[in-house]
Chain A
Amino acid sequence: MMDPTSKKTVYLNNAATTYPKPETVLRMAEEALANPPQSQYRSSAADTLPYEKLCRRNLARLFGIPGPDRIFLTSGATQALNMAVLGVFRQPDRKRHGLVITQTEHNSVLRTVYDGLAEELSGGRVHVTCVACDANGHVDPEDMRRAVTEDTALVVLNHCSNVTGALQDARAIGKIAHEKGALFLLDVSQSAGCLPVSANELETDLLAFTGHKALFGMQGTGGLYIREGLTLRPVLFGGTGTDSAVLVPEKPFYEVGTANGPGIASLYAGTEYLLNLGIEEVMRQEQRLMKVLYEGLKDIPMVRVYSDRLPEGPLLSFRVRGLRPSDVGYILSGTYQISVRTGLHCSPLIHKALGTEDGGTVRVSISYLTKETDAEYFIGAVREIAAGL
């Protein structure tokens, strides 16, 4: 096992934020900050920022979206998910009351539903059904079929679990939503940039993504795709650079305030990097590394991995018998300079399915730029910890 004499951190917390970023991302962000801002206009204006235009075009290519102007840039997936969920249920002419979510959702959905819609829930204007997942984090589409009714307005699905790496059958679930006339919102925070995501093929009406994970942009970037013809009630209001004399615009604006220029430039560079690589190449490399992690951990007797098969996504959860997950994280960080994430990972409900409500799990996550030697070093560290118990 490599000895970490250099004290350089081995970063295996890419499901939180990817690190390192490609060189081109660093250069593009620096360039955007070093030069005068190019324009104040947004996607709806004729003269958009070149970075914004290029970024939207790249995102549309990555997500199989025909119209880049239906991608609205946000501060991240949390804002996008708030826009989608609140935007559907705060429509004044809404006829349906049902909202179907899954046990795998992140707090960016759960808190938006249970706190953001608290008044609607207590007033009986929204009914939530939460569909369970299995011990790997997979949701059975047949369970979704039973949960979605003629009264369901919106079905929300976390595409790839940020706890187990399980990938859902989004196409089947989107189809079920549409058969009942419901809208389908897919949260691709953990799959965008590392797994195939096609808005049309996956039957999505709304697609929420973050820019700072596998898309390699900066923190503070992300977006929401809204299908052509679909209108949401905005959750934010403000300046748009257009129609400034109109206080109540006829058509909604989904991007208000000053755009995150450097962030968008970085996201453009990140998506450009991925388009040049190809998602197939990203998947191939990440699956190879995940196999090293999964099989390496499975081989350690004191370790339990929370998936009975190689996860589809670039992350997995585990525990070491006799140690709390937070203790494992502390030892990995202090003795081995390995950065992982421990706890509930902001997804509290899935832990009931995993049996990890008490303390959560240790999550290890990679990106395309993670080195195989880092994965091997990590396995060696966990093996050494387990042997020392």
Chain B
Amino acid sequence: MKITAERESIELCTEAGWSAYDLLTDEPVGRDLIKRLGTLGNLTYLGMLRQPFFRVESRYYLIKGLEGERQFRVSMLNGEEGILERVRALVSG
């Protein structure tokens, strides 16, 4: 799996004080990737929703997305942009 684009999120106001990026992928986000991303923090997986929702959180960043979509969001406290590199590695990984 590859990241095809990284877009600064237009929803910055919802994550006040944070930066947010939508990472676009060449394949739909599946459970394997969700599990790998889950190693970065506390994973919440809501599998009973029409489209399962996941959230991985730590004090410094938040990753969330919908299973089956070709994108997910990575939000981070300003100065914690290093998480993007770890996420890129897990996606290609």
**Chain A residues within CB distance 8 Å of chain B:** 325-327, 329-331, 334-335, 342-344, 346, 384-385, 387-389
In the complex, are the beta carbons of A335 and B15 less than 8 A apart? no
Q: Which residues of B contact A325 (CB under 8 A)?
A: 14
In the complex, are the beta carbons of B16 and A327 less than 8 A apart? no
What are 19 A-B interface contacts by the 8 Å CB criterion?
A: A325-B14, A326-B11, A326-B15, A327-B55, A330-B53, A330-B64, A331-B53, A331-B66, A334-B66, A335-B49, A335-B51, A335-B66, A342-B14, A343-B13, A384-B49, A388-B46, A388-B48, A388-B50, A389-B48
The interface residues of chain B, by DSSP majority, are classed as mixed
Q: Which residues of B contact A346 (CB under 8 A)?
A: 13
- CB contacts under 8 Å to A, within B45-84, are 46, 48-51, 53, 55, 64-66, 69, 73
Considering the chains assembled together, what is the distance between the CA atoms of A385 and B49 in angstroms?
A: 6
In the complex, are the beta carbons of B13 and A388 less than 8 A apart? no
For A334, A387, A389, which residue has the most chain B Cβ atoms within 10 angstroms? Answer: A334
CB nearest to A343 among chain B residues:
B14
Considering the chains assembled together, what is the distance between the CA atoms of A363 and B13 in angstroms?
A: 13
In the complex, are the beta carbons of A326 and B49 less than 8 A apart? no
In the complex, are the beta carbons of A335 and B14 less than 8 A apart? no
Considering the chains assembled together, what is the distance between the CA atoms of A39 and B66 in angstroms?
A: 53
Q: Which residues of A contact B66 (CB under 8 A)?
A: 330-331, 334-335
In the complex, are the beta carbons of B49 and A343 less than 8 A apart? no
Q: Which residues of A contact B69 (CB under 8 A)?
A: 334
In the complex, are the beta carbons of A329 and B49 less than 8 A apart? no
Q: In which size bucket is the chain B interface?
A: 10 to 19
In the complex, are the beta carbons of B48 and A330 less than 8 A apart? no
In the complex, are the beta carbons of A389 and B46 less than 8 A apart? yes
Q: Which residues of B contact A385 (CB under 8 A)?
A: 49
Give chain A nearest CB distance to B55 CB in angstroms. Answer: 6
Considering the chains assembled together, what is the distance between the CA atoms of A344 and B13 in angstroms?
A: 8
CB nearest to B57 among chain A residues:
A324
Considering the chains assembled together, what is the distance between the CA atoms of A326 and B46 in angstroms?
A: 15
Q: Which residues of B contact A389 (CB under 8 A)?
A: 46, 48
Given contacts A334-B66, A334-B69, A335-B66, contact A329 B50 (CB under 8 A): no
Give chain B nearest CB distance to A317 CB in angstroms. Answer: 14
11 additional A-B residue pairs with CB within 8 Å, beyond A327-B55, A343-B13, A387-B48: A327-B53, A329-B11, A330-B53, A331-B53, A334-B65, A334-B66, A335-B50, A344-B16, A388-B46, A388-B50, A389-B48
For B53, B64, B66, which residue has the most chain A Cβ atoms within 10 angstroms? Answer: B53
CB nearest to B15 among chain A residues:
A326
Considering the chains assembled together, what is the distance between the CA atoms of A342 and B9 in angstroms?
A: 14
Q: Which residues of A contact B15 (CB under 8 A)?
A: 326
- CB contacts under 8 Å to A, within B16-33, are 16
In the complex, are the beta carbons of B46 and A334 less than 8 A apart? no
In the complex, are the beta carbons of B49 and A388 less than 8 A apart? yes
Considering the chains assembled together, what is the distance between the CA atoms of A330 and B54 in angstroms?
A: 11
